[in-house]
Chain A
């Protein structure tokens, strides 16, 4: 089956720890995205990557970091510098020639 996988589904961390969220796609899409969603709100873009070894900051990149060493993988690290990391994180991908984005099932991160 083609699609996007995110793991884990739920993640719990203590304040001050860095944590890495996984995102893998086998759709052969060039572009990948990380969004943050808070309760009752829409999506806010954290980082995106249109090609391997290149990525750009979105609206709320502070406290986050990414890498894009392989086309199919785009991990997101939530660092201890992120002031309010508890949220639902969504990864998406798209074909360069399509406007549609395909989403993973999300990771709910809780930091206490």
Chain B
């Protein structure tokens, strides 16, 4: 079941610009994760933010969480060609399963 929704579905920006992707969910969470998937590859874990955290940084990544709005955002600053990928948010449900959104496809133009 896919109860997370990312938007936009696709995003194309110039290298060096910032990219923002959003994720919404419907039920309460303990934490929310972001993953990256390069074309035709497996997923790589980027960052986890817990429900009691509002913001978290990892290198050029910044994740925010607003539990009142049931939404999270992923900001990639100073984008590079290598950031071209699909980005997914995921949260655990009560059955210990990860629920995935449909992802945002990010294209960085040189």
A-side residues, CB < 8 A to B, are: 4, 33, 40-45, 48, 50, 58-59, 88, 90, 92, 99-106, 108
Cα of A4 to Cα of B98 in the assembled complex, Å: 18
Cα of A85 to Cα of B96 in the assembled complex, Å: 25
Q: Are B41 and A106 in contact (CB under 8 A)?
A: yes
Across-interface contacts of A90 in B (CB, < 8 A): 42-43
Shortest distance in angstroms between B34's beta carbon and chain A's nearest beta carbon?
11
B-side residues, CB < 8 A to A, are: 1-2, 4, 31, 33, 40-45, 48, 88, 92, 96-98, 100-103, 105
Cα of A106 to Cα of B86 in the assembled complex, Å: 15
Across-interface contacts of B103 in A (CB, < 8 A): 41-42
Across-interface contacts of A100 in B (CB, < 8 A): 33, 45, 48
Cα of A48 to Cα of B101 in the assembled complex, Å: 19
Of the candidates A50, A103, A105, the one having the most CB atoms from chain B within 10 angstroms of its own CB is A103
Q: Are B48 and A99 in contact (CB under 8 A)?
A: yes
Q: Are A50 and B48 in contact (CB under 8 A)?
A: no
Q: Are A42 and B102 in contact (CB under 8 A)?
A: yes
Q: Are A103 and B42 in contact (CB under 8 A)?
A: yes
Shortest distance in angstroms between A90's beta carbon and chain B's nearest beta carbon?
6
* A42-B100 in contact given A100-B33, A105-B42 (Cβ < 8 Å): yes
Quick one: closest A residue to B89, CB to CB? Answer: A42
Q: Are A99 and B31 in contact (CB under 8 A)?
A: yes
Cα of A92 to Cα of B105 in the assembled complex, Å: 21
Shortest distance in angstroms between A25's beta carbon and chain B's nearest beta carbon?
12
Q: Which 8 A-B pairs have the closest CB atoms?
A: A103-B42, A42-B100, A43-B100, A103-B43, A42-B102, A100-B45, A105-B42, A42-B2
Across-interface contacts of A50 in B (CB, < 8 A): 96
Shortest distance in angstroms between A11's beta carbon and chain B's nearest beta carbon?
14
Cα of A88 to Cα of B1 in the assembled complex, Å: 17
Q: Are A40 and B40 in contact (CB under 8 A)?
A: no
Q: Are B45 and A102 in contact (CB under 8 A)?
A: yes
